[in-house]
Amino acid sequence: MELSTASDVLTVHGGTALSGEVRVRGAKNLVPKAMVAALLGHGTSVLHNVPQISDVRIVTGLLEAHGVSVTRGAPGADGEPSDTLILDPASVEQASDTAVEAHAGTSRIPVLFCGPLLHRLGRAFIPDLGGCKIGDRPIDFHLDALRAFGAVVEKRPEGLLISAPERLRGTQIRLPYPSVGATEQVLLTAVLAEGVTELSNAATEPEIVDLIAVLQKMGAIISVHNGRVIRIIGVDQLGGFTHRAIPDRLETASWACAALATGGDIRVIGAAQGEMMTFLNVFRRIGGDFEVDDTPGEPSIRFWHSGGQMRALALETDVYPGLSTDWQQPLVVALTQAHGLSIIHETVYEQRLGFTDALNRMGAQIQLYRECLGGSACRFGQRNFMHSAVISGPTKLHGAELTIPDLRAGFSYLIAALAAQGTSTVHGISLIRRGYEDFEAKLSALGADVELGLGA
């Protein structure tokens, strides 16, 4: 195992019920895409509620490499850094491929630069993509869509070169699966394409709807119809936007699962009920409780363990409005404390249950299966993917040495370590910084006994 640097390790002394307040800001799965959208505009854009996470820093670097000026608003009176970004695309220019490559392997966002760069510069270079190792994660839907608009895709040893010999034309696209990324690709390309684009079997996640709101503010014409159909009438020019990003429903659910698994009580400031209905139902069915406060400007949701026995459940992840796959891993940790047999059927990613090995080393009892358990047959059934799990609980967890494989598994390991007796050493916490702002300070504020580095 590669030796981690002190700043990449967190020592967690478990056994404390977390309680208090944390703040969540804009959605990690919307903010970087809104930043990319600014490239499409002939005018300055202002984005509010931007979290300090490394995915934002990666996109800032890529935008600056393409000549976009990205600045943060003035710090607050308390010296708090502003959560506002000002994006000015006045002098967009071709970035050198090396400058783009510098960001290779760090995230999947670079693929979404295609549409805006093709419209602005007629050329886009996409380095090898990164992102969480939770499945094969191909981009075939993205490339097929770009070709349908008239783009030319050339595979190069160092990445993909995409060019638009002429203005891109509106077209008909049916996605084989309601992919979030491919839907965003089509939106960010169709808005300035000539004519009408009809996208069917589209993703409709709240982050997609919020991106549509951003594009509409820029001057785009986009309508969402029943049955996952989105129609876009291309326009000749777009302006800038001023937008407040929707709150991060994925981070919110992670803190809720931390309250449940540690027997605690956490108020998540900035959280909104609207995008979390499915999660809130599951949270209550397991044995948690919550209270929504819709105070305008300062909404919040308080999550707590109701004190009774937690109940085992059969859960199946799905595209929105189903149970988000990004809620699955924190819920699995909470379900190790539920009484009875829980079943998880992961239908969005074929390799998102591998993280349970480490939980079993902590004392959990989780068995993985290739079959589609507890729900309808999915794309991964009959294939060689361990994409279902049976969790028998409750089991006492104890501390362990943990290495983080991906973002959500990372935060789930923190929850398990906090719910466990004894001390855990968690390696690779920089992965968590990709999507959770300031989480170490938030954990300490909730009473967690954690310290950076390998501890005393």
| Chain contacts with ligand EPZ (rule: CB under 6 A) | 28-29, 108, 132, 135-142, 177, 179-182, 203, 205, 250, 325-326, 348-349, 407-408, 435
Residue 382 CA: distances (Å) to CA of 370, 371, 379 = 7, 7, 9
CB of 250 or CB of 312, closer to ligand EPZ: 250
Q: Give percent helix, percent strand, percent coil of the chain, each to the nearest 5.
A: 30, 25, 45
Residues 207 and 95: their CA atoms lie apart, in Å, by 28
Three-class secondary structure of residue 38 per DSSP: helix
CB of 175 or CB of 338, closer to ligand EPZ: 175
CB of 64 or CB of 140, closer to ligand EPZ: 140
CB of 132 or CB of 429, closer to ligand EPZ: 132
Q: By CB neighbour count within 10 A (0-12 exposed, 13-18 middle, 19+ buried), where does 277 fall?
A: exposed
CA angle 442–446–448, rounded 5-degree value: 95
Strands 265-269 and 288-293: unpaired
Q: At what angle do helices 325-335 and 277-286 cross, to 10 degrees?
A: 10
Residues 335 and 344: their CA atoms lie apart, in Å, by 10
Residues 266 and 305: their CA atoms lie apart, in Å, by 10
Type of residue at 286: I
At its nearest, how many Å lie between ligand EPZ and the CB of residue 442? 18
At its nearest, how many Å lie between ligand EPZ and the CB of residue 20? 25
At its nearest, how many Å lie between ligand EPZ and the CB of residue 297? 26
CB of 139 or CB of 312, closer to ligand EPZ: 139
CB of 88 or CB of 406, closer to ligand EPZ: 406
Supply φ then ψ for residue 375, to 5 degrees.
-160, -160
CB of 203 or CB of 312, closer to ligand EPZ: 203
Residues 388 and 15: their CA atoms lie apart, in Å, by 29
At its nearest, how many Å lie between ligand EPZ and the CB of residue 325? 5
Residues 188 and 115: their CA atoms lie apart, in Å, by 6
**44 secondary structure, DSSP code:** -
The tokens describing 399, both together, are 């501390």
Residues 432 and 224: their CA atoms lie apart, in Å, by 33
CB of 28 or CB of 119, closer to ligand EPZ: 28
Residues 248 and 216: their CA atoms lie apart, in Å, by 21
Residues 418 and 224: their CA atoms lie apart, in Å, by 43
Active site residue 132: yes
At its nearest, how many Å lie between ligand EPZ and the CB of residue 441? 21
At its nearest, how many Å lie between ligand EPZ and the CB of residue 13? 27
At its nearest, how many Å lie between ligand EPZ and the CB of residue 26? 13
CB atoms within 10 A of CB 180: 19
Residue nearest to ligand EPZ (CB): 181
The tokens describing 348, both together, are 């969005």
At its nearest, how many Å lie between ligand EPZ and the CB of residue 344? 15
Please tell me which residue in 114, 132, 257, 372 is annotated as part of the active site: 132
List, as one string, the DSSP characters of 382-442.
TTT---EEEEEE----B--EEE--SHHHHHHHHHHHHHSBSEEEEE-GGGGGGT-TTHHHH
Active-site annotation, residues:
132
